[in-house]
Chain A
Amino acid sequence: MSPLSIVGDVQVGFPAVRTGYGQQTYGNTQPQTQRATWVRIEPDGSVTAFAGKVEYGQNIRTGLAIEVADELRVPLAAVTVILGDTDRVPWDMGTFGSQSTARVGWQLRKACATAREALLSMAADRLDLPAADLEARDGRVVSKSDPSRGVGYADLLGEQELEIEIAERPTVTPPSEFTQMGRQHLIRVDGIDRVTGRAVYSQDVLPEGVLYAAVIRPPAYGARARSVDFAAAERMPGVVRVVHEGSLIAVLAEDDEAAALGARVATIDWELTPGQPGRFEMPSHLVESGTEPFTMQERGDLGEGFRGAAHVLESSYYIPYIAPAPMEPRAAVALWEGDHLTVWAGTQRPFGIRQELSAAFDMPEERVRVIAPEIGGGFGAKSPYGLATEAARLAKVAGRPVRVAYSRADEMAWSNFRPAALVKIRSGFGADGRLTAWDSVAYHSGERVMIGRRGADTPYDAPHVLSVVYRSDSPLPSGSYRSLGAAVNHFAREVHMDEIAEAIGVDPVELRLRNLSEPRFRRVLEATAEAFGWTGPRLANGHGAGIALGIDVGSYVATAAEVSVQEKEVRVHRVSAALDCGLVVNPEGAANQMEGSIVMGLGGALFEAADFQDGRLLTTTFARYRVPRIVDAPKIDVRFVGDDDAPSTGAGEPGIVPIAAAISGAVFGATGQRHRELPIQRYL
């Protein structure tokens, strides 16, 4: 127990849960407990903060620690942030949609502001000084008029055990008084653990007596085992047991190699599902299987818009599936202790996985603990985490802890891809390039309709607009990926804007400005053009330049890129980007996220594509699935142009939204060839 705990309601997450998106995408996870401790001041005056988010590279631990330290007026080093352990942290829907700083950070700030006010009033009594004369600083409350008079938080709280409620409207610190938020921080709070190898990821969890499982996965999507012959596997040294329960087929062994070898010698008769569309059929398959048309945006009357147009332009854009391919393949470890289950799983939704486990074993959630350790990248893909249940089932059968880990090939095939999409755009515009009509129809593969809908509305001022999104069949498992479908929709729209600019001979920046009244869009575009030194798509040295803008998770973004093209290789030399995400809590962390999004988006723009035929994934290794390497990385400069008094919006996803179109535009500048299909290098 701590001297001071600040408690409050858990957050029902992501606002979209109420629209049904969260329910549809992530299951109907609901908080089991409505109340939780958010912040504790410990007996030694240090501070512990709790959040249901997980750390998968977005540097949330540092971001939250900075907010807590600033709001509570303690040094950053005094703050510990506990994340992603269902037994310890407030319920949370999951870490996605760049919501961590925006929502959880705000809740923690309110909790800390409440605590600070309570400490100030306790100190006023203790020191017998007027509250107006007191201020909190460096873990102490001190008198402003006589700084020699003061008391540390630990002394002030002493032995008591106080629990207070987060105030409705505590005095949170205004930006002008920040001492830590918005400043450059030289190190991240978990940086040293990461360079010393101490940081524990789910691949690294090895409890005493753990058995290594090799789970045998189908050779193709839709394949089912007719029969399994384990005779040879059972004779392998080190193999402890074999399991075939429904679709779960596994070899358990004392070490990883014995398990893998056992799995290799198992003889399985697979029943395949014939007739699955392959990669070359995808563009037509998307259109033919399109269903559930959903109107994203509708205003005016298209007929009238096109009648009033001096020019009409129509183009289609195709974006193949791409793989998230995080560096850490998924792993899960399950441990049964009596009727209590603990599972370590590097998932973005530990509470959702807890619920799945409780359902799978028909036991109350209180007896299930899910711990999300450090996660080696996820980019949205690690919300589903079937390995958790597999590990728990196998551990139950074996009576020992069991570790299930994906190989690289498993991670490539049995994750979820960013949906493939086809977008058709027809625009009408005047001789000056001002849009009169915008007609966009998009087909995105996959069940989760919200993925394709994200970012499908145009920010440009056309008076007559219709944007419709269809859900199409998905031969590959598809799901969340950084920015969902926004990067895809933005690619189509922004390349189209470049085509309009070219058609009437206007500069792409100028063309966009003529069609943009929203000042936040204009500001990011102008800031990017200025930082980049924008002079148009064709550069003197034979290089090309491209620029694009967008919005995602409430943040406005623009990006410009310079490329050169040699035969089949595009080299991206430099990228400038401007982001307006409101108040930036941790500029270094946000810049890092922007840089990462840009590099990731570069891969999808130039060379990433998941290839498949007859239900088989062909790109299961890094030898066949090219991801950006250090030699591909451009020089990137990022500037933040938002207002400090605007609420923080996401920084982890917007960077990927405009980059592919900027690169396409730059390749056009260099070669005169317009690229409406990704990845560009396949079409050079």
Chain B
Amino acid sequence: MLTVTVNGVPREVVRGDRNLLSFLRYDLGLTGSKYGCGEGLCGACTVLVDGQPLRACMTTTGAVAGGEVTTIEGVATGETLEDLHPVQRAFVEEQAMQCGYCIPGFVMGTIGLLNREPHPSAGQIREALAEHMCRCGTYQRIEKAVQRAAGGEA
């Protein structure tokens, strides 16, 4: 039996060809990962697989079997600022959001970036998040949030 670990819980993969985003959202009810385009172009569906950001809409459960998937629900679910992951907290503190639909994807992309590069330059931040889309246009705040989370100047 194939399994994929989602936010620390092993889950059985019934159909290896099931789209990973659909599996997370509709089979597991983890709706924090968003559908924005279904073709890898907006980043709203970004999750971490073994610590690295991946577009859930572009892959299948079979392809990540045996791996560790982290969704936004697995990052931190606190009710207060103190209980959040530093990246989440930075997004709240910079008010880096409007409608918020893109934000789980940006948070996951940022965590992935900081895993690779704890002190990214402005250029590295822009490059890492270049494929994420925020139609509300909160990019300036998002950049500040990433800098803040990285412990740099906000």
For residue B152, give the distance in angstroms from its CB to the closest CB of chain A: 16
A588-629 CB mask vs B (1 if < 8 Å, else 0) is 110011011111100000000000000000000111000111
- For B98, give the chain A residue with the smallest CB separation: A57
Q: Hey, which chain B residues are within 8 Å of A57, CB to CB?
A: 97-100, 136
For residue B38, give the distance in angstroms from its CB to the closest CB of chain A: 6
Tell me if A199 is interfacial: C-beta within 8 Å of chain B.
yes
Tell me if A198 is interfacial: C-beta within 8 Å of chain B.
yes
Cβ contact within 8 Å between A329 and B35: yes
Tell me if A195 is interfacial: C-beta within 8 Å of chain B.
yes
CB contact between A255 and one of B22, B29, B39, B139 (< 8 Å): that residue: B22
A296 to B18 Cα, complex, angstroms: 57
Asked whether A326 and B22 contact (CB < 8 A) given A595-B137, A636-B140, the answer is: no
Asked whether A596 and B137 contact (CB < 8 A) given A191-B92, A630-B129, A630-B130, the answer is: yes
CB contact between B107 and one of A195, A325, A405 (< 8 Å): that residue: A195
Tell me if B116 is interfacial: C-beta within 8 Å of chain A.
no
A597 to B19 Cα, complex, angstroms: 35
A302 to B127 Cα, complex, angstroms: 54
Asked whether A204 and B137 contact (CB < 8 A) given A256-B22, A375-B99, the answer is: no
Main secondary structure of the interface of A (DSSP, over half): loop
Q: Hey, which chain B residues are within 8 Å of A592, CB to CB?
A: 95, 98, 138, 141
List CB contacts (< 8 Å) of B88-114 with chain A.
Answer: 88-89, 91-93, 95, 97-104, 107
Cβ contact within 8 Å between A197 and B130: no
For residue A282, give the distance in angstroms from its CB to the closest CB of chain B: 24
A377 to B4 Cα, complex, angstroms: 33
Asked whether A629 and B92 contact (CB < 8 A) given A197-B32, A376-B101, A408-B36, the answer is: no
Tell me if A257 is interfacial: C-beta within 8 Å of chain B.
yes
List CB contacts (< 8 Å) of A174-200 with chain B.
Answer: 186-188, 190-200
A199 to B100 Cα, complex, angstroms: 8
Q: Hey, which chain A residues are within 8 Å of B103, CB to CB?
A: 194-195
List CB contacts (< 8 Å) of A62-89 with chain B.
Answer: none
CB contact between B133 and one of A188, A192, A256, A627 (< 8 Å): that residue: A627
Q: Hey, which chain B residues are within 8 Å of A190, CB to CB?
A: 100
Asked whether A629 and B130 contact (CB < 8 A) given A194-B103, A204-B31, A408-B37, the answer is: yes
Asked whether A633 and B140 contact (CB < 8 A) given A57-B99, A195-B107, A196-B78, the answer is: yes
Tell me if A429 is interfacial: C-beta within 8 Å of chain B.
no
Among B39, B77, B101, B104, which residue has the most Cβ atoms of chain A within 10 A?
Answer: B101
- For A408, give the chain B residue with the smallest CB separation: B37
Q: Hey, which chain A residues are within 8 Å of B27, CB to CB?
A: 255
Q: Hey, which chain B residues are within 8 Å of A521, CB to CB?
A: none
A623 to B27 Cα, complex, angstroms: 29
CB contact between A206 and one of B26, B34, B98 (< 8 Å): that residue: B26
Asked whether A206 and B31 contact (CB < 8 A) given A197-B104, A327-B42, A633-B137, the answer is: yes
Tell me if A212 is interfacial: C-beta within 8 Å of chain B.
yes
Cβ contact within 8 Å between B32 and A192: no
Tell me if B135 is interfacial: C-beta within 8 Å of chain A.
yes
Tell me if A540 is interfacial: C-beta within 8 Å of chain B.
no
Cβ contact within 8 Å between A377 and B136: yes
Cβ contact within 8 Å between B39 and A197: no
For residue B153, give the distance in angstroms from its CB to the closest CB of chain A: 14
Cβ contact within 8 Å between A196 and B77: yes
Tell me if B2 is interfacial: C-beta within 8 Å of chain A.
no
Tell me if A562 is interfacial: C-beta within 8 Å of chain B.
no
Tell me if B63 is interfacial: C-beta within 8 Å of chain A.
no
Cβ contact within 8 Å between A197 and B98: no
Cβ contact within 8 Å between B100 and A187: no
For residue A60, give the distance in angstroms from its CB to the closest CB of chain B: 11
For residue B124, give the distance in angstroms from its CB to the closest CB of chain A: 12
- For A652, give the chain B residue with the smallest CB separation: B98
Q: Hey, which chain A residues are within 8 Å of B131, CB to CB?
A: 629
Tell me if A289 is interfacial: C-beta within 8 Å of chain B.
no
Tell me if A135 is interfacial: C-beta within 8 Å of chain B.
no
Q: Hey, which chain B residues are within 8 Å of A193, CB to CB?
A: 100
Cβ contact within 8 Å between B95 and A191: yes
Total interface residues on A, using CB and 8 Å?
Answer: 62
Tell me if B134 is interfacial: C-beta within 8 Å of chain A.
yes
Tell me if B44 is interfacial: C-beta within 8 Å of chain A.
yes
Cβ contact within 8 Å between B37 and A197: no
Cβ contact within 8 Å between A630 and B31: no
Cβ contact within 8 Å between B99 and A376: yes
Cβ contact within 8 Å between B95 and A192: no
Cβ contact within 8 Å between B77 and A191: no
For residue B131, give the distance in angstroms from its CB to the closest CB of chain A: 8
- For B125, give the chain A residue with the smallest CB separation: A630
CB contact between B136 and one of A198, A327, A329, A407 (< 8 Å): that residue: A327
Tell me if B6 is interfacial: C-beta within 8 Å of chain A.
no
A516 to B148 Cα, complex, angstroms: 43
Cβ contact within 8 Å between A187 and B130: no
Q: Hey, which chain B residues are within 8 Å of A621, CB to CB?
A: 37, 39, 41
Q: Hey, which chain A residues are within 8 Å of B39, CB to CB?
A: 408, 621-623
Cβ contact within 8 Å between B97 and A257: no
Cβ contact within 8 Å between A327 and B92: no
For residue A11, give the distance in angstroms from its CB to the closest CB of chain B: 24
- For A599, give the chain B residue with the smallest CB separation: B137
Tell me if B48 is interfacial: C-beta within 8 Å of chain A.
no
Cβ contact within 8 Å between B26 and A212: yes
Tell me if B49 is interfacial: C-beta within 8 Å of chain A.
no
Tell me if A101 is interfacial: C-beta within 8 Å of chain B.
no
Among B100, B104, B134, which residue has the most Cβ atoms of chain A within 10 A?
Answer: B100
For residue A630, give the distance in angstroms from its CB to the closest CB of chain B: 4
Tell me if B132 is interfacial: C-beta within 8 Å of chain A.
yes
Among B29, B30, B133, which residue has the most Cβ atoms of chain A within 10 A?
Answer: B133
Tell me if B11 is interfacial: C-beta within 8 Å of chain A.
no
What are the 10 tightest A-B residue pairs by CB atom distance, in nearest-first order? A197-B32, A599-B137, A376-B101, A57-B99, A194-B100, A57-B98, A633-B139, A197-B72, A204-B31, A596-B137
14 of the cross-chain contacts (CB-CB < 8 Å) are: A57-B136, A192-B84, A194-B100, A195-B92, A201-B101, A326-B99, A328-B99, A408-B39, A592-B98, A621-B41, A629-B133, A631-B127, A633-B137, A633-B143
Q: Which residues of B contact A (CB under 8 A)?
A: 18-19, 22, 25-27, 29-39, 41-42, 44, 71-73, 75-81, 84, 88-89, 91-93, 95, 97-104, 107, 125-127, 129-143
Known: A327-B42, A328-B99, A630-B143. 4 other contacts (CB 8 A): A58-B98, A195-B107, A596-B136, A630-B134
